[in-house]
Amino acid sequence: MVIRDRVKKLEENITILEDFKNRYSLENVKKDKIIQWALKYGLYLCITGIGEIACGIVNERNLGNAKNYKECIAILGDNDILDRMSAEKLINYVNIRDMLKRPYIDVDLEKLYSFTEKLDFFRDFVSKVKNFT
Q: What is the pLDDT of residues 26-71, one digit of tens each?
A: 999 999 999 999 999 999 999 999 999 999 999 999 999 999 999 9
Is residue 35 a contact partner of residue 28, using CB atoms and an 8 Å limit? yes
Is residue 10 a contact partner of residue 51, using CB atoms and an 8 Å limit? no
62-66, 99-103, 108-112, range with the lowest pLDDT: 99-103
The conformational region for residue 80 under phi > 0 = left, psi -120 to 50 = alpha, else beta, is left
pTM here? 0.93
8-22, 48-62, 69-83, 91-105, range with the lowest pLDDT: 91-105
Is residue 23 a contact partner of residue 96, using CB atoms and an 8 Å limit? no
Which CATH number belongs to the domain containing residue 64 in this structure?
1.20.120.580
> Which residues lie closer than 8 Å to 5 by C-beta, 6 or more apart?
none
In angstroms, rounded to a whole number, what is the distance separating the alpha carbons of residues 58 and 62? Answer: 6
DSSP string of the chain? -HHHHHHHHHHHHHHHHHHHHHH--HHHHHH-HHHHHHHHHHHHHHHHHHHHHHHHHHHHTT----SSHHHHHHHHHHTTSS-HHHHHHHHHHHHHHHHHT-TTS---HHHHHHHGGGHHHHHHHHHHHGGG-
In angstroms, rounded to a whole number, what is the distance separating the alpha carbons of residues 108 and 2? Answer: 34
In which domain, by residue range, is 100 found? Answer: 3-132
Bigger pLDDT: 2 or 11? 11
Structural domains in the chain (count): 1
